[in-house]
Chains A and B, each alone.
Chain A
Amino acid sequence: MSTDLRAIGRVRPPRGGSIRRGLGKTTVWMIISIGIVIALVPFVWMVSGSFRSEADLFGNPASLFPTSWTLHGYTAIWQQLPFLRLLLNTLIFAGGTTVLLLLFDSMCAYALARLKFRGSKLLFWLVIATLMVPIQVTLIPVFIELFHFGWLDTYQGLIIPRATSAFGIFLLRQSFISIPRELDEAARIDGAGHLRIYARIILPLSKPALATLAVLHFMTLWNDLLWPLIVTSSPDMRTLPAGLTLFGGQHVTDHAVLLAGATISLLPLALAFFLAQRFFVQGVATTGLK
């Protein structure tokens, strides 16, 4: 799948496909333009709304842009929410989990791709089988486990259970297998052990797969609501999605503040998307995770 996607740009459609011939190019583009407007307006409205006062929002609901600009949303957010803390928690959760996940998944994938050991087949099938399990099935027992470990409302509770992914192991194993074994053997003759072969040969040669996996998981974790909502309970341990949702429902009625929060929380991903779109498209399309 991933190799197909790299070539998306080179798609050649059937000349005169049914839609185009049926409706004409202009009509198609008129419809697409309406689509573009519908796709973009919510984001424009979100950013512009974060600069509008309550009076302006209630007074001119039909307007897409502020009649007068105010920075109120961006100044009040730090007082009305523990926003810095939310930002920090999200960074620790998404960043920490992604780093550990890349490490653990690549180690496991290395063993599956390069080492002979008893139970390797069993492990591979275990990995495949866990791909099928929806998170909701394990949610309650994991919650109770974390309760008994005393890990609820802690960073380790947020991070450790998510620090490996069957999909990641699978993807990296496929990528490692495609690296020629001669490279390992040459390193082995030079006296390198498995740890060195893994760190110095396999990992550097798998950068695209690792980057795709990193982008995908960072995005998923950064955006995740259900997991942080369940593991954390104190306002100081919430992440951005959980925090904005809960505060948006209860304490904060100021729309500009919530829109400012939404804008800030979108900023890192949007920036990364413009810089490295390829990895997002590949990552999302190879897994179907969102």
Chain B
Amino acid sequence: MTSTEVTPAARASRSRGRGDGFRLLGIRLQPAWFFIAPSVLIILVFIVYPITQSLWYSLFNWQIGATNQEWVGVGNYVKLFHDELFWNALRVTATFAVVSVASQLVVGYLLATALAEDTWINRVTRSIFFFPTIVALTTIGLVWRFLLDPDIGLVGGILHTIGAEPIDFLQNTSLALPSVIFVSVWKNLGFTMVLLLAGLKAVPAYLYEAARIDGANARQLTWHVTIPTIRPTILFTTLILTINSLQVFDLVYVMTGGGPLFSTDTLVTQLFREGFQNFHIGYASAIAWVLFALIMIIAAFQLRLFRYNDVD
């Protein structure tokens, strides 16, 4: 049968048979549309559109439900630039991110190498260190808030027993942030360890053999074989940990609420306070965009930094 013999009717029926879609109001519905509809709708309504809205709001002195919104242009960003609390939150967030990510990487790496071998005791130990990862930050924050309480806490109790004065860690402006950082490291250590273990596993044994034949000692093996080989894993881990710690909220909210005297106030606790307690929608949106930009810049910078080293 050649194409010239096909009647229009036959062609129509064949095309209808070919796609398994069906018609509605003259439009042929593709089956794919049915499959993607729920996700696409949710992504468009609750992610894509809100992103544009967020940028839009940040240019207004936005009031929920008001018919006329006051346009302020980059006013919110200028105000942010002159806001001492914003710089404070930025400093706190940066300190939190740098100290907690660095400690997690170092301690996590040491743990991963120490527990890498697959013996039953290592498996159990790994599970113990990993367990806090699955526990809610609110639970962990609550328990540690009590543990560090000078009246009922175990830490204060032990200090008292050895004759020291109990310290109110979370009410002290210079100890509150280190305490929150400690708890965050305590929680995420097992997570970091698991990520790094996956990288360690991928280091081929012949690299170690070759280096050892060349007379490399243990320290040289670590610095010249292990770490260069697992660099992609370290990059991935650093990136994830950094992005997560720039968004820190739950732990601070539960343990200190940003206090005392804003000494633990992070970008997201400030955003939450401005947006959902003071209802400064435009201002809070500006904070959100600064956070977004910060995450993008740091991610790009870290990716670049690690790739540069790759070329050497």
- Cβ-defined contact, A20 with B43, below 8 A: no
Docked complex Cα distance between A103 and B158 (Å): 51
Min distance, Cβ B17 to any Cβ of chain A, angstroms: 13
Cβ of B174 < 8 Å from any Cβ of A? no
Cβ of B94 < 8 Å from any Cβ of A?
A: no
- Say yes or no: B31 contacts A115, CB within 8 Å: yes
Most interface-central of A42, A258, A269 (chain B CB within 10 A): A42
Contact of A142 among B46, B138, B154, B156 (CB under 8 A): B46
**Contact assessment for A36 and B128 in the assembled complex, using a CB-CB cutoff below 8 Å:** yes
- The answer to whether B35 touches A107, judged by C-beta atoms less than 8 angstroms apart, is yes
The stretch that binds B, out of A10-18, A177-185, A206-214, is A10-18
Is there an interface contact between B35 and A115, defined as CB atoms closer than 8 Å? yes
Q: How many residues of B contact A (CB 8 A)?
A: 110
Instruction: Render B28-39 as a binary contact track against A, CB cut-off 8 A, 1 for contact.
Output: 001111111011
Report the separation of the CA atoms of residues A11 and B116 in the bound assembly, to the nearest whole angstrom: 6
B171 interface residue, CB < 8 Å from A?
no
- Judging by beta carbons under 8 Å apart, are B152 and A61 in contact? yes
Q: Chain A residues with Cβ under 8 A from B156's Cβ?
A: 61
Chain A residue nearest to B55 (CB atoms) is A137
**Nearest-Cβ distance from residue B239 to partner chain A, whole angstroms:** 8
Contact between A134 and B291, CB atoms less than 8 A apart: yes
Chain B, Cβ-Cβ closest to A7? B201
Q: Is the pair A226, B43 in contact by a Cβ cutoff of 8 Å?
A: no
What is the bound-complex CA distance between A28 and B198, given in angstroms? 21
In the assembled complex, A105 has its CB within 8 A of some CB on chain B? yes
Task: Tell me if B243 counts as interface (CB < 8 A to partner A).
Answer: yes
A11 contacts B128, C-beta separation under 8 Å? no
Q: Is there an interface contact between A42 and B144, defined as CB atoms closer than 8 Å?
A: yes
Q: Which of chain A's residues have a CB closer than 8 A to the CB of B218?
A: 14, 16-18, 20-22
**Chain A residues near B158 (CB-CB < 8 A):** 62
In the complex, A25→B253 CA distance in Å? 41
State the CA gap A225–B47 with chains docked (Å).
Answer: 19
Contact yes or no, B281 A144, CB < 8 A: yes
Segment from B4-12, B79-87, B220-228 that makes contact with A = B220-228
With CB as the reference atom, state the residue of chain A lying closest to B183: A42
Identify A140's interface contact among B36, B65, B110, B275, CB under 8 A.
B275
What chain B residues lie within 8 Å of A222 (beta carbons)? 136
C-alpha gap A115/B21 in the complex (Å) = 12
Mark A residues whose CB is within 8 Å of B: 1, 4-5, 7-22, 28, 32, 35-36, 38-43, 45-46, 49, 57-58, 60-64, 103-105, 107-108, 110-112, 115-117, 120, 123, 126-127, 130, 132-145, 147, 160-161, 163-164, 166, 169, 193-194, 198, 219, 222-223, 225-226, 229-230, 240-242, 244-245, 248-249, 255, 258-259, 262, 265-266, 269-270, 273, 277, 280-281, 284-285, 288, 290
